Chain A
Amino acid sequence: MSQTTTAPHDTHHDTHYPGGITRWLTTTNHKEIGSMYLIFALIMFFVGGAMILAVRAELFQPGLQLMQPEFFNQLIGIHALIMIFAALMPAATGFANWQIPLMIGAPDMALPRINNLGFWLLPPAAILLTLPFLLAVFGIGDGALNTGWTMYAPLSVQGGIGVDFAIFSIHILGISSILGSINVIVTIFNLRAPGMTMMKLPIFAWGWLITAFLLIATIPVLAGAVTMLLTDRHFGTHFFNAAGGGDPILFQHLFWFFGHPEVYILLLPLWGLMPHVLATFSRKPIYGYKAQVYSFIAIGLLSVVVWAHHFFTAGLPVGALLYFMYSTMAISLPLAVLFFCWIATMWKGAMTFETPMLFAQGFIIMFGVAGLTGLVLADVAADAQYHHSYFVIAHFHFALFAGGIMGVMTGVYYWLPKWTGHMYDEKLGKLHFWLTVISFNLTFMPQFFVGLAGMPRRIPDYALQFTEFNAISTVGSFILGFSQLIFAWVIYKCIKGGEKAEGRVWEGADGLEWELSSPPPLHSWNTPPVVK
């Protein structure tokens, strides 16, 4: 890629910006909004993490020690919603905001004011989600959503005010996601640098593009489902109420029609990130760019037609079981293509193992575990044993922590020097990686075993024979949780100062964003670069 250099801007017109909090409330700059998304995600990551540490503490030994089952149920559901909607998704949107304009040579996102609105919808939504905890302390209502994050009817139809709060929170989060998606699509379609065809688009942008389309296709269905839930609860409809001719299983269909693509919504931006990191630290070009892009598209299309594998045990007819089993397994084919391309990118490369590369390696190996255990779960005959057990918990944490959160950490370490202009502390970064990867496995590996042995999920108490594995898991989770403080510290230190980062932070890095200074000027690519 070749391009014109940007003239560094004087920051003269920055003086027009209001100061203090007003600046952050009114900013339309993609870099500032990106930073806000990322900081919000980090804060909510700790909020959701604290909730689940309380859960793990309760599960340290059998019996009820710390909390009542009702509170336990609230913690697990809110933990999931916060981690998915308030940590992983905003982190990915933060990446998109920061990186997509830099990578495609655009001056900003296409819809800057929509961008601002998209972010500022998030804090109220997070407050709505968690407020019922506080209200319960003052004797109002019976706490937060207590149905698990899936909100299955009829339980959610009968639940307390926490369900209503969660419904409205999901509406707001959904609107925010849709605004973000529209922004990403318009930016990528309309603001690419001259000469950058779709097949020259950085692969990270491709991953995000598929995510954005999936969000537009599925979030409205979730919004519809929770709206039906709301009217069932308060306005006398019977979508999910059998007494009125409704069907509770319908909710599961609607929910997972959104819920399964959601997995890929969370992962696609990170699959797009991986090739960049692997190529940078292997000092080789990305292997199989086209194959990866087509795999993204294939996975995006397949992801909306496999939803019922989340409830194989609900009583589907045999024909449907077979269809959903085979279509689910078919997703492993494009995924295998991705894995192959990732490995081939590193093959015979001049590899070095800086923190982002370590996280990328950890991502590939442990996300592989998630994929393989997913194949086991997709087997209808085997699923009856695994369904609703700790095996499922372990499986999707390998997908969403090792695949999701560690993917985000890869991106943060990879781009942090670009964003802040300072190198992060490499020693602390490596320490963070090793503590994370070891304690992660300590936490979740035992859960495969207890799940296989029959321990159901969403239970505050358990049979005695599961004690040792649960104790190990709890110890692992506390190490994992507290290790993340290192992450926060590394980021803080890096923002405050450190060794100056060059424009091209990593010697093997390729792409438009590395042509800019580190940190890039507040307004970059005002003159679009020309890509040949």
Chain B
Amino acid sequence: MSHVAISHKKLIGKLLLAVAAAFAFGFALVPLYDVLCTVTGFNGKTEGGPINGFSRGGLGNESGSGSVAAAPSRIDRSRTVTVEFTGTVMPGLPWDMRPLTFSKELHPGELHQVIYLVRNTSDRPIVGQAVPSVTPGQAAQHFDKIECFCFTQQALAPGESREMPLLFIVKPEISSDIKHITLSYAFFNAVKDKTALNIRE
């Protein structure tokens, strides 16, 4: 029977290796998922330098102003797209936020600016981080933010209000099926510790 015992060990070794591989695969899905979202626009993750830099965990780590999206090739005046602006302050952040413009009808390719008004309602200074999301997801790849308060962390003194600008272009390559886009910001209390696992690369 010793012969059998040896082949047991081999097979067990292979199976344990498979278990370890499956466990590693679970963790590998984390960066894979990020890549997939960026490529497909799934989950409204927007393409383009600064946002990418952020979603890979570099909070407040502006990956260079050189990553501004390429200038629009043309302005498509044959159609219009309506962009709605919303914002939510997440629990744990005693701030107020609202867009000064709620909605804008524009031609794809035009450069536009909107302003969000953000106020710290507490009596202590707080650093916040806005996370953008574009709906529908397919529009996310064609929604370029040239300048955005979400590129960096925002520090507000007690009671301070600030007008935060957003400069964006809806690229003319966007599908003509999409007539309506919603840009939503979730403002979070900025994360202090940047642990190794936070940086997903």
Residues of A within 8 A of B (CB): 110-111, 178, 181-182, 185-186, 189-191, 216-225, 228, 231, 235-239, 241-245, 247, 249-250, 253-254, 257, 315-320
Q: Please measure, in the bound complex, the distance between the C-alpha atom of A337 and the C-alpha atom of B4, giving whole angstroms.
A: 37
Q: For the complex, is B106 an interface residue (Cβ under 8 Å from A)?
A: no
CB distance from B154 to the nearest CB of A (A): 13
Closest A residue, CB atoms, query B34: A247
CB distance from A311 to the nearest CB of B (A): 12
- The answer to whether A220 and B11 touch (CB under 8 A), given A245-B57, A317-B42, is no
- The answer to whether A223 and B12 touch (CB under 8 A), given A235-B195, A244-B198, is no
Classify the secondary structure of B's interface with A. Answer: helix
Question: Which residue of A181, A237, A254, A315 is within 8 Å of B29 (Cβ)?
Answer: A254
Residues of B contacting A237 with CB < 8 Å? 195, 197-198
Closest B residue, CB atoms, query A245: B57
CB distance from A167 to the nearest CB of B (A): 14
Most chain A beta-carbon neighbours within 10 Å: one of B22, B27, B33, B40: B22
Closest B residue, CB atoms, query A110: B8
Most chain B beta-carbon neighbours within 10 Å: one of A219, A228, A242, A245: A245
Q: Please measure, in the bound complex, the distance between the C-alpha atom of A228 and the C-alpha atom of B90, giving whole angstroms.
A: 22
Question: Which residue of B8, B193, B200 is within 8 Å of A245 (Cβ)?
Answer: B200
- Asked if A189 and B26 make an inter-chain contact with CB atoms under 8 angstroms apart, the answer reads no
- Asked if A257 and B19 make an inter-chain contact with CB atoms under 8 angstroms apart, the answer reads no
- The answer to whether A247 and B37 touch (CB under 8 A), given A185-B11, A186-B15, A223-B23, is yes
Q: Please measure, in the bound complex, the distance between the C-alpha atom of A244 and the C-alpha atom of B191, giving whole angstroms.
A: 6
Closest A residue, CB atoms, query B15: A182
- Asked if A254 and B26 make an inter-chain contact with CB atoms under 8 angstroms apart, the answer reads yes
Q: For the complex, is B108 an interface residue (Cβ under 8 Å from A)?
A: no
- Asked if B19 and A315 make an inter-chain contact with CB atoms under 8 angstroms apart, the answer reads no
- The answer to whether A243 and B40 touch (CB under 8 A), given A110-B8, A220-B23, is no
- Asked if A257 and B191 make an inter-chain contact with CB atoms under 8 angstroms apart, the answer reads no
Closest A residue, CB atoms, query B57: A245
Residues of B contacting A320 with CB < 8 Å? 40, 42
Residues of A contacting B30 with CB < 8 Å? 228, 239, 250
What are 8 A-B pairs at a CB distance below 8 A?
A111-B12, A182-B12, A216-B15, A219-B22, A220-B22, A221-B25, A315-B136, A316-B42
Q: Please measure, in the bound complex, the distance between the C-alpha atom of A217 and the C-alpha atom of B18, giving whole angstroms.
A: 7
Residues of B contacting A231 with CB < 8 Å? 197
Closest A residue, CB atoms, query B197: A237
Interface residues of B in 21-70 (CB under 8 A from A): 22-23, 25-27, 29-30, 33-34, 37, 40-44, 54-57, 59
